[in-house]
Structure 1
């Protein structure tokens, strides 16, 4: 893609250079910005959590959605899945060191949201 020039209503020209690959912000948002992803990471911050307990904590998320997000997070190395029992199957999820490294960002988002009284 080529650069383009935009002119605003006052005649000021701005050169627009398109990104040829995702920038650092976009890469980070792809990792933790998916629906329910940040909430899942945040709920795993203190200790391993069983799947059904996590589903109760998240309230409005379907079990299918939670399962999809957990598989994505596991694939990205942010969450570890541990099988406790085979029959009936029981698993827990916990953060990896990499997953835990996102918690400070999520805490800042939480504080920003609360301070600005954002609504869903």
Structure 2
């Protein structure tokens, strides 16, 4: 059962927004969901995609997403163990939300194209000033 702060969502019109954000809140959950939109991934593949996430933190985030019904963990009985993660049908319903967050971030943060252009321009100006 998802962990939601409010037991009822009639506290205000924005409570559903808060509840949604609370479910996907976590340092790596949004990025994990974004990468799983592309398809099933093994644990080590996720680790490579999230090099700044510790193994413990990634495991915790994956477990919470699984508990909330957004991802499915498939364990294959072999040595060494093989574990794959994929989005559930419920998790797929977050696709428009995750993609909207990505588009907004691309447009309004330093990670987006305009941010990269600004960084390149600043770097060019700094290099020109040192000559």
TM-score normalized with structure 2 length = 0.70
Contact 1:36 1:61 survives alignment (8 Å):
yes
Contact 1:81 1:93 (8 Å CA) reproduced: yes
Q: Secondary structure at the match of 1:80?
A: strand
**Structure 2 runs not aligned, ≥5 long:** 1-10, 112-131
Gaps of 5+ in 1: 1-18
User: Is 1:75 matched with 2:51?
Assistant: no
Deviation at 1:26, TM superposition (A): 1.1
Aligned equivalents of 1:39 and 1:116: distance in 2? 17
Higher share in helix: 2
> Which residue pairs with 2:107 in the alignment?
115
How many residue pairs match? The answer is 100
Q: Normalising to structure 1: TM-score of the pair?
A: 0.76
- The offset of 1:70, in angstroms, is 0.5
> What is the deviation of 1:33?
2.1
Displaced runs of 4 or more, over 4 A: none
Q: Please identify which structure carries the higher strand content.
A: 1
Instruction: List per-residue Cα deviations over 1:8-31 (Å, max 9, x = no partner).
Output: xxxxxxxxxxx58x8111110111
Query: Which position in structure 2 is the counterpart of 1:7?
Result: none
User: What are the within-5 Å matches in structure 2 for residues 18-97 of structure 1?
Assistant: 19=11, 23-97=15-89
3-state SS of 2:73 partner: strand
Q: CA RMSD in A?
A: 1.7
